Structure 1
Amino acid sequence: MSLGMYAASIPVYQRQLGALAKVLEKGSAWAAAKKVDEAVLGATRLTPDMLPFTRQVQIACRFAEESAARLAGAEVPAPHDNAEKTLGDLQKRIAAVQAYIKGFKAEQIDGSEGREVVLTIAGNPLKLTGEQYLLHFALPNFYFHCTTAYAILRQSGVEIGKRDFLGAV
Structure 2
Amino acid sequence: MVSLYDISVPVFIRNLEILITLLKKASAHSGVSDEALVKSKLISDMGDLAFQIHVLTDLACGMASRAGKTELKEMPRTETNLNELQDRIQATIKVLKTVKEGDFVGEEEAISFTKGDLVIPFVGKTYIQEFEIPNHYFHFVTSYNLLRKEGIDIGKKDYLGKS
Please give the secondary structure, in 2, of the residue aligned with 1:76: coil
2:155 counterpart letter in structure 1: G
Higher helix share: 1
2-structure distance, mates of 1:121, 1:93: 21
Structure 1 runs not aligned, ≥5 long: none
2:41 is the alignment partner of 1:41: no
Give 1:14's aligned residue. 13
Which TM-score applies when normalising by structure 1?
0.90
The partner residue of 2:141 within 134, 141, 147 is: 147
Aligned alpha-carbon RMSD (Å): 1.5
Report if aligned partners of 2:73, 2:95 keep a CA contact under 8 Å in 1.
Answer: no
2:37 counterpart letter in structure 1: L
Report if aligned partners of 1:41, 1:53 keep a CA contact under 8 Å in 2.
Answer: yes
Shift of 1:119: 2.1
The percentage of counterpart residues that share the same residue type is 31
Give 1:23's aligned residue. 22
Report if aligned partners of 1:9, 1:68 keep a CA contact under 8 Å in 2.
Answer: no
Report if aligned partners of 1:56, 1:146 keep a CA contact under 8 Å in 2.
Answer: yes
Please give the secondary structure, in 1, of the residue aligned with 2:46: coil
Report if aligned partners of 2:70, 2:99 keep a CA contact under 8 Å in 1.
Answer: no
Q: How many residues align?
A: 162
The one-character-per-residue Cα deviations of 1:76-101 (angstroms, maximum 9, x if unpaired) are 323x2111111111110111111111
Give 1:126's aligned residue. 120
Structure 2 runs not aligned, ≥5 long: none
Give 1:135's aligned residue. 129
2:21 counterpart letter in structure 1: K
Report if aligned partners of 2:113, 2:121 keep a CA contact under 8 Å in 1.
Answer: yes
Which TM-score applies when normalising by structure 2?
0.93
